[in-house]
């Protein structure tokens, strides 16, 4: 397998945590990696003898995605996408500016033939069960009904490749279970999803509308929505979980007696805390471009990078892109 | 104060929990109540000597809201709204079919002059701080930008009446902080909210776009969004919190050792669990109709009813409707 191109300069904790994660993935898990960025910064961050694709520019969190990708042709995230296009790398990951990662992947790799719009698919943790795949989690703030149908197809392919589900259950996010509930986008998409034609090579089952409370449940495998709603849902859950975690921790360590009880509990709680941590899931997948592209959380730690690289390797080996091509081909 | 009309027949646990809550509110907190529903059912549920407005019909959770309100003129929720319109009651609460409660309030009480569309305002718990008021939480799945501006005004009036905030901070829910982020609705509403004219009598401050992660934070007092997104956010948080609570409880009681530690912790955790329980907040307020109308969660317990009645009394005494009239008058 060709190495996975890692945008070493992207992320709140880049290059330190990114490079550290790439090293761990390479040394402990045997994932081939190609670090993309400034050689001096990568060396200073402990890149060691990992392969480096040298480039000089960086797109930061506040740069305008479209404009910066067009202007900064030597930016690490752009070069990472080019490496996939050119066949030097088998996949790319970036924890930097999400818009710039999407634009780089789209402009350099191109979209799969027949894809209306690429979508961001994010696994939502469901304690005790496999995660729910939420898409679109932010690539397209405005959508046409037919795009949502294609998101459903791509989500099914991803859920099958990643979680081994034979026939993923797809729900359409709305404000009530009845087909009559929702805005015009949802109502039209609902009608289209009821037509079994959309299943084609993707092979999922449409279970109807689902509500916000179903996102974090084991009742559905893929939740389809527009990128505005999906992004709000994702961040609402992330914020809510973090807030509750902090509040719990504060309560549980407020007195000596509570701290003693907390110490007994911590080893048992740890797996649940990990399960709810976005770093565990290896980031979001941009589905619909001509290559595996993982967009990790801006706050990604080395552990998040290790997990993202494991997912990238797995999706390359499972030929996710080939399956997507087959599912959406016109 | 005139009594608060309670739809005794509405809710998953009606009339039992509803009547029990009304009794507790009347006997323990001195809230005057008027139970609306079938006298025999109310008596069987232990209504005792509470005042009853007899009616014969019930709108259940699966009835079509508009049609049932038009057809079932003797339904408890319709009669409750009429009691407010006729001055027999000072406010109404219902834990039944949300759409029917909205339609009853709108058709019987009418909307306040100048209000484009009533909106559902729901307090979102923020542990250790006052709740964030989210609106619209589901009344209008499609909105015009100017409606969102009025939601901001009404939300400010509500946050001031209920939580005593002098100058509530209003955030517009979007997918990024920059004014350029969001769908067309949000971008237009953002521009309108930047014009200080909207503040008028409502007196809030527009703090710009906020993201999903800010909903459950102390950084903003009122979060404005369309009813589709708001409903999804509300249910996502409710579902997520319930799921995590269950997962935590399972972990914390898995062995004898953990159960012992849990028993030490429970009294300290209890207030946080209560803070996160929707029953604590007394339900959602339908803002923009000519009367105080509280729409409680379908699963409302007696405690939820007690809290809803306390909020109803408080909002009547604070003349919430008078303040709304002043804020939105053309």
For the stretch A242-281, pLDDT in tens is 888 889 999 999 999 999 999 999 999 999 888 888 777 7
pLDDT tens-place string over residues A35-64: 999 999 999 999 999 999 999 999 998 899
CA-wise closest residue to B53 among B92, B99, B14: B92
Q: Which residues contact A175 (CB under 8 A, 6 or more apart)?
A: A181, A182, A211, B138, B141, B227, B228, B231, B232
Would you state the pLDDT for residue B197? 81
Closest residue by Cα to residue B80 from B111, B59, B49: B59
Is residue A119 within 8 A of residue A154, CB to CB? The reply is yes
Q: What share of chain B has pLDDT > 90, as a percent?
A: 85
Provide the pLDDT confidence category of residue B236 given band limits of 50, 70 and 90.
Answer: very high
Q: Name the more confident of A258 and B279.
A: A258
Domain ranges in chain A?
Answer: 1-115+288-330, 117-287
Q: Nearest-CA residue of chain A relative to B236? A: A212
| pLDDT computed for residue B160 by the predictor | 96
Tokens of A86: 């050119």
Q: Which CATH class is domain A117-287?
A: alpha beta
Q: For B1-114+288-330, CATH number?
A: 3.40.718.10
List the single residue in B182, B217, B248 with the smallest CB-CB distance to A141: B182
DSSP assignment of A284-295 equals EEEETBSSEEEE
Q: How far is B61 from chain A (nearest CA, A)?
A: 12
Give the DSSP H/E element, type plus range, for residue B232: helix B227-252
d(CA B207, CA B54): 48
Section B49-77 average pLDDT: 94
The string over B289-319, giving b where at least 16 C-beta atoms fall within 10 Å of a residue's C-beta and e elsewhere, is bbbbbbbbbbebbbbbbbbbbebbbbbbebe
- Is residue B75 pLDDT above 90, yes or no? yes
Q: pLDDT tens digits for A58-104?
A: 999 889 999 999 999 999 999 999 999 999 999 999 999 999 999 99
Does the beta-carbon distance from B236 to A213 stay under 8 Å? yes
Homologous superfamily of the B116-279 domain (CATH): Isopropylmalate Dehydrogenase (3.40.718.10)
Side-chain half-sphere CA neighbours of A56 within 13 A: 3
Kindly state the average pLDDT of the residues A9-31.
96
Q: Identify each DSSP E strand in chain A by its residue range.
A: 4-7, 33-37, 51-54, 91-94, 119-124, 132-135, 169-173, 205-210, 222-224, 284-287, 292-295
Which residue shows structure tokens 């969004």?
B225
To which CATH superfamily is domain A1-115+288-330 assigned?
Answer: Isopropylmalate Dehydrogenase (3.40.718.10)
E-only strand ranges, chain B: 4-7, 33-37, 51-54, 91-94, 119-124, 132-135, 169-173, 205-210, 222-224, 284-287, 292-295
Residue of A nearest to B129 (CA): A247
Strand A91-94 and strand A4-7: the pairing is parallel
Residue B37 β-bridge partners:
B54
Same fold, A1-115+288-330 and A117-287: yes
Report chain B residues whose CB lies below 8 A from the CB of A182. 141, 228
pLDDT above 70 as % of chain A:
100
The confidence score (pLDDT) of residue B244 equals 87
CB B37 within 8 A of CB B15: yes
CA B12 to the chain's CA centroid: 17
Which residue in B138, B238, B258 is closest to A264 by CB distance?
Answer: B258
ipTM rounded to 2 decimals: 0.93
Pick among A173, A227, A251 to test the B interface (most B CBs inside 10 A):
A251
Q: What is the mean pLDDT of residues A119-129?
A: 92
- Residue A273 to residues A30, A208, A283, Cα–Cα distance (Å): 27, 31, 17
- pLDDT tier for residue A282 given thresholds of 50, 70 and 90: confident
3-state secondary structure at position B295: strand
CB B135 within 8 A of CB B154: yes
């Amino acid at each position: 397998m060709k190495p996975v191109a890692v945008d070493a300069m992207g992320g709140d904790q880049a290059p330190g945590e990114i490079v550290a994660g790439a090293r761990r993935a390479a040394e402990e898990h045997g994932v081939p990696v190609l670090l993309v960025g400034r050689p001096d910064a990568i060396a200073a961050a402990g890149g060691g003898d990992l392969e480096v694709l040298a480039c000089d520019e960086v797109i930061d969190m506040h740069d305008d995605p479209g404009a910066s990708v067009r202007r900064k042709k030597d930016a690490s995230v752009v070069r990472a996408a080019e490496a996939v296009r050119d066949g030097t790398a088998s996949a790319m990951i970036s924890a930097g500016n999400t818009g710039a990662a999407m634009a780089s992947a789209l402009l350099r790799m191109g979209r799969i033939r027949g894809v209306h719009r690429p979508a961001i698919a994010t696994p939502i943790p469901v304690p005790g069960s496999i995660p729910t795949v939420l898409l679109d989690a932010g690539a397209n703030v405005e959508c046409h009904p037919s795009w949502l149908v294609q998101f459903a197809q791509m989500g099914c392919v991803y859920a099958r490749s990643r979680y081994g589900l034979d026939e993923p259950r797809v729900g359409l996010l709305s404000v009530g279970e009845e087909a009559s509930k929702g805005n015009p986008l949802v109502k039209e998409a609902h009608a289209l999803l009821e037509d079994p034609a959309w299943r084609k090579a993707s092979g999922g089952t449409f279970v109807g509308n689902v509500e916000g409370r179903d996102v974090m449940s084991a009742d559905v495998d893929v939740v389809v929505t527009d990128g505005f709603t999906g992004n709000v849902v994702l961040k609402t859950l992330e914020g809510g979980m973090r807030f509750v975690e902090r509040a719990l921790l504060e309560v549980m360590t407020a007195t000596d007696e509570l701290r003693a009880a907390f110490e007994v509990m911590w080893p048992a709680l740890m797996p649940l805390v990990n399960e709810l941590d976005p770093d565990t899931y290896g980031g979001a997948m941009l589905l619909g471009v001509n290559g595996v592209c993982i967009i990790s959380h801006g706050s990604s730690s080395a552990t998040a990078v290790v997990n993202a690289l494991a997912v990238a390797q797995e999706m390359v080996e499972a030929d996710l892109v080939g399956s997507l091509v087959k599912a959406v081909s016109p």
